[in-house]
Amino acid sequence: SNTTYETLALATGDLGNSWIAEDIPLNFGGAVSVHATHYGLGPVIWMGGGNGIILSNLPDANVPVSTTVTPAEGGDLFSKDGNVHLEFPAGLVTANTVITYTPTTLSQAPSTGRLSAWTIFDLSAEPIIRSLDDIIESGTCYTMTVDYKGWLVSEDAALGIYHWDGSDWVLEPTSQADRDLDRATACPNHFSYFALLGNNFYQYLPIILR
């Protein structure tokens, strides 16, 4: 090709098998510095431009996402930043169901009390023409994975995936924290507010007396 670019940024999420061109504004002024890392579902690039502009393709984690889960095939859902992954197996629902993941701020969600919250989100299902007990087949559950790599998380017995039962935050019975992979998993059989909660993280610095 004879096409020339003042600045062209390409990103790959599959070890170079495919590349995605990122939009660069015309006033960017050429790349002065580039930093790339992996975040959630794919690569994130920060670029410093000659005109003092800093660009990034970091996804907006505050955007709701939805998927249609079918009885025959189930479904799959990722949060925008890729840190929350929901896997719905075939046979989970009794009819086609739209499941929506909505990120929630601390001020919007029920108080977590003495526990610290690293992420809170709401899972809802539509159309709810029956009770949730009728939508989800008895004895089934779906897999919830919350990746907390890079977060300042206190990894102790309290760390896990909790749900709001209408009056209190309750640790999911199947919640497990994998400290090697920095992720928590659970297998809920209901929809509600969910959160990765745990004890406060304290870092004590030494006091030097002179």
Question: What pLDDT was estimated at residue 131?
Answer: 47
Mean pLDDT, rounded, for 54-83 = 84
Confidence class for position 105, pLDDT limits 50, 70, 90: confident
pLDDT at 158 over 70: yes
CA 201 to chain centre: 21
CA dist 1 to 5, 22, 26, 157, Å? Answer: 11, 19, 21, 58
pLDDT at 47 over 90: no
Confidence class for position 134, pLDDT limits 50, 70, 90: low
154 or 145, which is more confident?
Answer: 145
Percentage of the chain exceeding pLDDT 90: 40
Q: By the 8 A CB rule, do 7 and 24 touch? A: yes
Question: What pLDDT was estimated at residue 133?
Answer: 56
pLDDT at 93 over 80: yes
pLDDT at 167 over 80: yes
